[in-house]
């Protein structure tokens, strides 16, 4: 994994939308532990979560650098105020639960698409230097509304590089799979179901990509260093069968197959075959180059582009790296899910 130079964040003001979420808390702790930012602004809607987060970091040696902004990405004026004099924006705010997005499509569009537009406009107007937007595997060949809104958001951020005029602002996107232990993920659900001795799985063939929160944070930070604007970064991460995940968490529990849910895939995709012609391998990750972006350079000293095969795709079902039950149990222990 490539890590950002400490100098890139030194004395910088960083804004994190959705900053009280699972990713935001780990990202902010990592930055406070390892860098010397000027300030970190936490932008989110929930005052209770902000109060809890402030208490969590109150004894940190750099706690005085945290700023808390109540606000919603749907509110462009509030975003502009929060972004004043900020140099770096990490856009993590989103409606992420597939069933909630399916049942509330207008709300999902207002947050995930219109919110992305507001972040882009505010960043352009306030002279931000770098913007990284967090995406999801569900944005690749989407079949549910959440994935569709995130695909639209991804394209908005990539294309925003064409609107920057003479400014030096850069927009890029990171796309990764399921984050272990994030709010609403299946791992906390399985641990809860373990108490009753029955775990529910929608299909025994189902697979998913997996990444830990620290890995996701490191990937975002290293992509922030690599970005020149317009790339979509995809990490090389392992897959796992959901039945094996269930065995890793509750080896003695019974598994009940309940049938695939609306908007759910058997296997997830991080890179579709239709994206292969714009995809390059750079070692620990793939880069999907922008297809309609004149400002993107064809070569850079930061990485060597190795184009993938024309029929390449990156899906959780045919991933060359799969987690075994024992490997997952070790990861769960290392990340304090298992004792």
Q: Please confirm, yes or no, whether 138 is among the known catalytic residues.
A: yes
Beta strand ranges found along the chain (DSSP E): 13-17, 39-44, 66-70, 88-91, 130-134, 170-174, 178-179, 198-201, 207-211, 232-235, 239-241, 254-257, 269-271, 279-281, 285-288, 306-307, 314-315
Instruction: State the Cα–Cα distance between residues 302 and 227, nearest whole angstrom.
Output: 9
Sign of CA dihedral 171, 177, 178, 181: negative
- Phi and psi dihedrals of 2, rounded to 5? -90, 135
Instruction: State the Cα–Cα distance between residues 91 and 50, nearest whole angstrom.
Output: 17
Q: Which residues contact 194 (CB under 8 A, 6 or more apart)?
A: 249, 250, 253
Catalytic residue (one of 12, 96, 138, 289): 138
Closest CA to 70 of 91, 47, 38, 94: 47
Confirm if 112 and 105 have CB atoms less than 8 A apart: no
Instruction: State the Cα–Cα distance between residues 65 and 39, nearest whole angstrom.
Output: 5
Sort 181 into a burial class: Cβ within 10 Å, 0-12 / 13-18 / 19+. Answer: middle
Q: How far is CA 190 from the centre of its chain?
A: 22
Tokens of 238: 């392992």
Residue 306's alpha-carbon distances to 146, 237, 269, 276, in angstroms, are 31, 18, 20, 12
Where in the sequence numbering do the catalytic residues fall?
Answer: 138
């Amino acid at each position: 994994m490539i890590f950002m130079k400490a100098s890139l964040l030194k004395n910088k003001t960083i804004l994190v939308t959705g900053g009280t979420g699972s990713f935001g808390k780990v990202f902010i702790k990592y930055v406070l532990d390892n860098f010397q930012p000027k300030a970190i602004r936490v932008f989110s809607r929930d005052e209770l979560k902000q109060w809890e987060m402030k208490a969590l970091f109150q004894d940190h040696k750099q706690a005085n650098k945290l700023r808390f902004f109540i606000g919603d990405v749907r509110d462009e004026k509030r975003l502009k105020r929060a972004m004043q004099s900020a140099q770096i924006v990490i856009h993590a705010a989103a409606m992420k639960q597939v069933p909630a997005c399916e049942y509330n499509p207008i709300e999902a569009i207002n947050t995930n698409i219109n919110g992305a537009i507001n972040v882009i406009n505010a960043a352009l107007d306030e002279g931000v230097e770098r913007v990284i937007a967090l995406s999801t595997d569900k944005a690749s060949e989407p079949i549910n509304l959440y994935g569709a809104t995130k695909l639209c958001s991804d394209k908005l951020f990539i294309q925003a590089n064409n609107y920057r005029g003479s400014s030096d602002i850069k927009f890029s996107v990171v796309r990764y799979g399921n984050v272990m232990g994030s709010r609403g993920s299946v791992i906390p659900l399985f641990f809860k179901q373990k108490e009753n001795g029955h775990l529910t799985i929608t299909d025994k063939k189902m697979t998913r990509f997996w990444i830990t929160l620290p890995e996701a944070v490191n990937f975002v930070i290293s992509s922030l260093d690599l970005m020149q604007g317009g790339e979509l970064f995809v990490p090389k991460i392992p897959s796992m069968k959901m039945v094996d995940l269930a065995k890793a968490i509750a080896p003695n529990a019974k598994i009940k197959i309940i049938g695939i849910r609306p908007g759910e895939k058997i296997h997830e995709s991080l890179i579709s075959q239709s994206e292969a012609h714009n995809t390059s391998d750079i070692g620990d990750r793939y880069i999907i180059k922008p297809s309609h972006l004149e400002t993107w350079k064809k070569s850079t000293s930061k990485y060597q582009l190795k184009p993938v095969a024309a029929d390449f795709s990156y899906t959780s079902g045919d991933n060359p790296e799969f987690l075994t039950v024992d490997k997952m149990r070790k990861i769960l222990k290392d990340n304090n899910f298992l004792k």
